[in-house]
Structure 1
Amino acid sequence: MRSSKLAVIAVATLLLGAGCGGSGGKGTSTGGASGGSAAANGPVSVEFLSVQQPTDNWPTVLTKLMDGFAKERPGSTLKNTYVQQTDLDQKLQLLGAQNALPELFNAPNTPAAQAQMGRSGQALDLEPALTQLGVFDKLDPAAVSVIKQLEGGKLYALPFELNIEGIWYNKKIFADNAITPPATWDDLVTAATTLNGKGVVPFAAAGVDGWPITRLVGDYIVRLAGPDALKKVADGQAKLTDEPYLKGAQAVADLGAKGFFGKGVASQDYQAAEDLFLRGKAAMFYMGSWAVGDFNDPAKNKIGADSIGFMPFPAVAGGAGTAEQTPMNAGLPTMVSAKKYNPATTGEWLKYMVGNYGDTALAERGMVTGFKVANPPASVPAMTKLVQDQIAATKDPVLWFEALFTAKATSVAQKGAAPLVTGGMSPQDFMSAVQDALNG
């Protein structure tokens, strides 16, 4: 997914070298002597290494926060350093080997690499550190749950964004065809059949990127086999070639065989798929809430924000999962250098930042994040409010298809997605290929 969205989708996503004194599990360690380059009560200097440009969301919010922090500790500064997402992992490895990781940095692109950074002592174990600082309760519990699922039960990264995923639909198209938001997979297929028969593309999807299609496979599996179905695969307790998993691939392949993704899905990228939906040419669009920014943009959204509804991925008959188990992700999260951490200096900045990030991000950029909001703006766009309400109602967030996969398996899955829905690859061959990649 695009770095400016889900620096996963996702994301990313999604979506993630060595040598730091002390364990990442010791959040109270003073770490390196620099500690953010300040004596106690003096100015704090922080560098943020990010895949976003200085004028993008995360750097902009942090700059605003540093302006506020500098009023309490004059002379404190933030340096935003940009790195392309494709170069991020290599950059982190190089800086880690040189003991030169900055105070804040975007996490590696794979969950396995994120967890390794924590276990090796490069990234700060944030739960004990934030608890000691008195601000752990400023994080949204759903966001904490998502990151812990990815990082082996630990919190090594901060959720600068928090996304729900599901099916966005065109209210007018649904109303014109007497369709109510489907609550079950069978109802979804029936609705798609009706739309296809009327010449309306049921689903906009990006076959070039692959992950918008594999998301559907993963969600079906979770609805059928239960919320821990994909973790069982990662833990070696199940295989993607087992019957419940194959049914997920088959169900999505069947959508493609019926023409429900329209013509040219294999050559359609993210932007083209979104544009198809926002021009009213497709009835449904499975996507994460990072797309809400585009939904709220009249220049991109030709059907109007009021014309877009959201529905959870539907239930599957006889399945162990429920529609209340919402797929969620935290985009590309951000880590704190264990080596640079000092409770009296960078710790005070971290305390201020965590305590104010949610309010500032929402007020300044309209962002939904993994931080609680204490003082919401007087006016919040309806689409943003919808996302906030869905997050608040989520008690059991679940992960996406490739969340716990290796980089190799993720690539195989996403490259095979378009052939899966265009008849170029059978569900059995698709799942076998991904499982083989997981096996190494």
Structure 2
Amino acid sequence: MPRTLCGRLDHASPAPPRGRPMAQNTTEIVRAGLARRYAQERRFRACGLGAILMALVMLMTLFVTIFSEGFSAFWTTEMELEVTLYPQDIDPQGTRDFQAISNANYRKLITQAMGDLFPDVTGRQEKRELMAMISEGATYRVREMVLDSPTLIGDRITMRIPVSADIDMLAKGRIKTDVQESNRRVSDNQIAWFERLKSRGLIHSAFNSTLFSAADSRQPELAGIWGALVGSFYTLVVTLTLSFPIGVAAAVYLEEYAPRNWFTDLIEVNINNLAAVPSIVFGLLGLAVYINMFGLPRSAPLVGGLVLTLMTLPIIIIASRAALKSVPPSIREAALGVGASKMQMIIHHVLPLAMPGMLTGTIIGMAHALGETAPLLMIGMVAFVADVPTSPLTPSTVLPVQIFLWADSPERAFVERTSAAIIVLLGFLILMNAGAVILRKKFEKKW
């Protein structure tokens, strides 16, 4: 072997193996790695697609359950009945006095009409069961008809009257007739009488206008969501009137005027933290400040609007600041370059361009406020209110709280109306979010 100058053997480097060049080895390693990465990507995409499909299945299950339970609430069962308006029971003096006609015993007239329809029912218990098939709203319907047309007194009229909630559930198939009498809310006699009425063509199905024209009631067939809708409207008007100008003004100050120091940084951190505070905390704040300290009335939309204003302000401020940041600096520089003041630059140039984003954030914040329940429970809007509110200072409830109250009721008819109210609430939320999307698409500018 050859030796080096130091007398050591010169070890030559080993030659690469024959038939397997180094470049080919590298290519095979890269290809093996690519195959492994592609497999991981396919598994990741499959997991993402599976998550989306699972979310869609759960969402569809929710919607199908709600619609299947609540769609029948938009229809009600009515019974055709011939009622004789006896003058001696309605207006014995014949004076057509409004007060006398209003205070007449219309329940007696309906009892007599039901007795004419079922002359074979003579026992006291059977009569009680027979009259339980009729809703208390039948009395109000006859009374309103006579008050509108006093000339009907003395006539025999054919009208449709609402049945009780249990009979309505029986007509809709919600109450099973093949179970023992002790396990259902209708008796065997009532089922037999209902079948007789149905065979004679006296049972009809009609649109449930009471659901959209009445306030809350202890009787399910008389309960409606109109009072809650009006209360929600007043609450959202107060919320929008206060939160939008305050939120926009705060965003303009923080983005255009506020110096960058520790104080403004502290304000920004607190605004971001307030957006994540649980809503019930705002309800406790409203209870302590607005009601206990300032003495504002409980269950009033004014107080509810003030509480929801505190809750939606962080959302509007954050969205408004993001809209202001999206306006290019060249717009500001061009306005200032032609001699506009800073206020003129903001009012006439920056705000119009940022307004679509601000309105989008405001609509999303209002939709969030519409579905809130916890803060309004703390200020007393959970109270039973049977009248439609006439102003932001009158006691009222809102639609989410109305759903909460009905969901706690044991009657099967209230379960149906709870689902119907949820459908209406979801409809409003979808419309508000769709409005925000349309507004953004229509007025959004690409820079």
TM-score between the two structures when normalised by the length of structure 2: 0.21
Who wins on radius of gyration, i.e. which is larger?
2
More strand by share: 1
TM-score between the two structures when normalised by the length of structure 1: 0.21
Which structure has more relative contact order (CA 8 Å, sep 6+)? It is 1
